[in-house]
């Protein structure tokens, strides 16, 4: 029974990113199956998944072809490593396919099991690259406050989440953070364009402070996902790219959320108009059916690594054949099924418009940011002055709990409500997500007397 599951779960399972004390009082919801954009819990409730799991189930649940590919591959070659001059067909096929779907200039791919490991790998690549080209002093990495780059020690050091740093005295050194480009919250009287330039120029100031000869890379999510779906002003990324090029600093895009179609482009940096030197990939790479991460490496960086001798980095499961086979099948669904074009031309614009129309009159929603099938909605005390609530996070959690009760998965980051449904969601299902989200935001506003 649900109660037995919950008791066993509370007795033996330490959940990630959860306050176990309060979780155990209410009991975790037990998710037992899924199909398309829907989940079912152990009490038989049907829940619409507005978050694609954790921003990852891009092709939706219940794809038999992915299960079949995994089954076949397990029978044929369940495992072999790619260390020491061995390889296998699935990883070869995946690398070729990735070189086709990534924008020009990416020909080499390194594999791991997660986004966090991907960003650890980026650090290794950056250091090895600068050593290979004779500039080993370029050790500083610049990242951003409120960015999220994973939960390994390096991932969390790169990330700009204070609460994670506080629990982790042993951070990776030589990582420094600059401001996030969050106009609605921090832009004051500046226009979005002015604020975007101001934030980008913080990078330039930091490079000059540290000395360009000491700075190896800047890393950022094209839009900050876990930080609240923060979409930077249009002026931001082109200026960041100019600065990176001017001071010979590698530009590393963390595409773990944005990659594989989320904004309606294959990769989110294409939406924002810049060209990174590395791309961290995970989540949508396999649509979450099996763990896999990767780093796409621009040719000039890969060439230097290859010329530089041994790349002393690798994981037992780098390029795991079953994960690679699933990734190939998943990318083929995205490509041959026209999934990403549909997000760009149909479902993405429909979702963005429907959300804005449904929430235009809400006194609680101050900003809606997003493109394609991702959105962040800022709950505010006063829309006109962009004033946020003093007790940041409480209102968001209240709204999230209403959604949970109403069988919609919508995430809260502080007082920002986040949506990122599977990319195969249809218009009828989008209507359901939007209606439920608006209803729950309405209930939250009512509780606040708005």
- Write out the residues near ligand PLP by the rule CB under 6 A: 54, 114-116, 119, 148-150, 221, 225-226, 254, 256-257, 282
Q: How far is the CB of 253 from ligand PLP (least distance, A)?
A: 10
For ligand PLP, give the closer residue by CB, 49 or 221.
221
For ligand PLP, give the closer residue by CB, 2 or 179.
179
Between vectors from CA 155 to CA 154 and to CA 160, what angle results, nearest 5°?
110
CA dihedral defined by 269, 271, 274, 278, rounded to 10 degrees? Answer: 10
Which residue number places its CB atom closest to ligand PLP?
A: 115
For ligand PLP, give the closer residue by CB, 115 or 422.
115
- Both tokens of 388, joined, read 């946020």
Q: How far is the CB of 294 from ligand PLP (least distance, A)?
A: 11
For ligand PLP, give the closer residue by CB, 326 or 434.
326
What CA–CA distance (Å, rounded) separates 276 from 75? 38
Q: How far is the CB of 116 from ligand PLP (least distance, A)?
A: 3
- Both tokens of 4, joined, read 């037995």
DSSP per position, 32-54:
EEEEBTEEEETT--EEEETTHHH
Find where tokens 């200026």 sit.
239
Q: How far is the CB of 127 from ligand PLP (least distance, A)?
A: 19
For ligand PLP, give the closer residue by CB, 277 or 432.
277
Q: What is the CA radius of gyration of the chain?
A: 22
Alpha helices in 278-364 (DSSP H): 299-307, 321-336, 339-342, 348-359
In whole angstroms, what separates CA 392 from the centre of its chain?
22
For ligand PLP, give the closer residue by CB, 225 or 421.
225
Q: How far is the CB of 40 from ligand PLP (least distance, A)?
A: 24
- For residue 35, list its beta bridge partners: 38
For ligand PLP, give the closer residue by CB, 116 or 347.
116
Residue 240: enclosing H or E segment and its boundaries? helix 236-246
Which 3-state string (H, E, C) describes 305-319? HHHCCCCCCCCCCCC
Q: How far is the CB of 136 from ligand PLP (least distance, A)?
A: 27
Q: How far is the CB of 56 from ligand PLP (least distance, A)?
A: 8
């Amino acid at each position: 029974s649900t109660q037995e599951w919950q008791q066993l779960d509370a007795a033996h399972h330490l959940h990630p990113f959860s306050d176990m004390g309060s979780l155990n009082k209410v009991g975790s919801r037990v998710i037992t199956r899924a199909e398309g954009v829907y989940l079912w819990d152990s009490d038989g409730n049907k829940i619409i998944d507005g978050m694609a799991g954790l921003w990852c189930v891009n092709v939706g649940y219940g794809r038999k072809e992915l299960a079949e590919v995994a089954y076949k591959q397990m029978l044929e070659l369940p495992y072999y490593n790619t260390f020491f001059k061995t390889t296998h067909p699935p990883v070869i096929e995946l690398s070729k396919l990735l070189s086709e779907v990534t924008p020009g200039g990416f020909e080499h791919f390194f594999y791991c099991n997660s986004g966090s490991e991907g960003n650890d790998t980026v650090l290794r690549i950056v250091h090895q690259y600068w050593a290979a080209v004779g500039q080993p002093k370029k050790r500083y990495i610049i990242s951003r406050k409120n960015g999220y780059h994973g939960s390994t020690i390096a991932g969390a050091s790169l990330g700009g989440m204070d609460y994670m740093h506080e629990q982790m005295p042993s951070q990776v050194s030589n990582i420094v953070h600059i401001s996030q480009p969050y106009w609605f919250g921090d832009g004051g009287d500046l226009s979005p364009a002015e604020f975007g330039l101001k934030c980008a120029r913080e990078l330039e100031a930091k490079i000059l402070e540290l000395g360009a000869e000491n700075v190896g890379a800047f890393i950022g999510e094209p839009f900050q996902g876990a930080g609240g779906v923060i979409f930077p002003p249009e002026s931001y990324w082109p200026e960041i790219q100019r600065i990176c090029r001017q001071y010979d600093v590698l530009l590393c895009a963390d595409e773990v959320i944005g990659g594989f179609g989320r904004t309606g482009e294959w990769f989110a940096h294409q939406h924002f108009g810049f060209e990174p030197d590395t791309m961290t990939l995970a989540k949508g790479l396999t649509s979450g059916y099996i763990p896999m991460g990767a780093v796409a490496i621009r040719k000039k960086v890969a060439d230097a690594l290859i010329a530089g001798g041994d790349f002393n980095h690798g994981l037992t499961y780098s390029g795991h054949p079953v994960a690679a086979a699933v990734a190939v099948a998943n990318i083929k669904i995205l490509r041959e099924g026209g999934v990403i074009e549909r997000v760009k031309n149909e479902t993405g614009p429909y979702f963005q418009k429907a959300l804005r129309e449904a929430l235009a009159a809400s006194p609680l929603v101050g900003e809606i940011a997003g493109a394609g099938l991702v959105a962040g909605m800022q709950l505010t005390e006063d829309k006109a002055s962009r004033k946020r609530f003093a007790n940041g996070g409480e209102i968001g959690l209240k709204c999230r709990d209403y959604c949970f009760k109403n069988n919609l998965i919508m995430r809260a980051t502080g007082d920002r409500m986040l949506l990122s449904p599977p990319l195969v969601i249809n218009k009828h299902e989008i209507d359901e997500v939007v209606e439920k989200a608006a209803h729950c935001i309405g209930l939250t506003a009512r509780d606040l007397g708005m």
